[in-house]
Structure 1
Amino acid sequence: MFSPNQLIFAIFFVVAFVIVMIFTYRKDKNLHKKYYKGSFWILIGFVVFIGLLLLIKSYVKQ
């Protein structure tokens, strides 16, 4: 499916991308705490909403 060189490139790309994302997040950590207070509750709300949709879908399907 993929050549060995393509797989090597993909692995290096993913590793480099993750390292850059970690570095960037650590750099902006204080700004995130200041400007995005309470965003965790928004995430919880989305997860609950998706869960309710899946529950309703399975209930209606039966």
Structure 2
Amino acid sequence: MFSTGQLIFAGLFLVCFVFIIIKAYGKDRPLHKKNYKGIQWIIAYFMIFILFLFLVKYFMKN
């Protein structure tokens, strides 16, 4: 389906892209820690709310 050259290009692109994303996140990490304190609680409450909605749907269906 893909030629050897296309697969090599896709592999190299993926490796470079992941490397650049990790490097950029590493630079921004101190800024994220400063600006987004407590975000894990918001995510946890959001996930609990979604779970609650699924439970309500399940019990209303049965």
**By how many angstroms is 1:3 displaced?**
3.8
2:35 is aligned with what amino acid?
Y
SS in 2 for 1:28: helix
1:22 aligns with: 22
Equivalences, count: 61
Deviations 1:20-41 (CA, angstroms, capped at 9, x unpaired): 2211111101001111100111
* AA matched with 1:17: F
Distance 2:8 2:56 in 1: 43
Question: Max radius of gyration: which structure?
Answer: 2
**Corresponding residue of 2:37:** 37
Structure 2 residues not aligned, in runs of 5+:
none
Gaps in structure 1 of 5+ consecutive residues: none
Partner of 1:50: 50
Cα root mean square deviation, aligned: 2.1
Q: Could you tell me the TM-score, scaled by structure 1's length?
A: 0.72
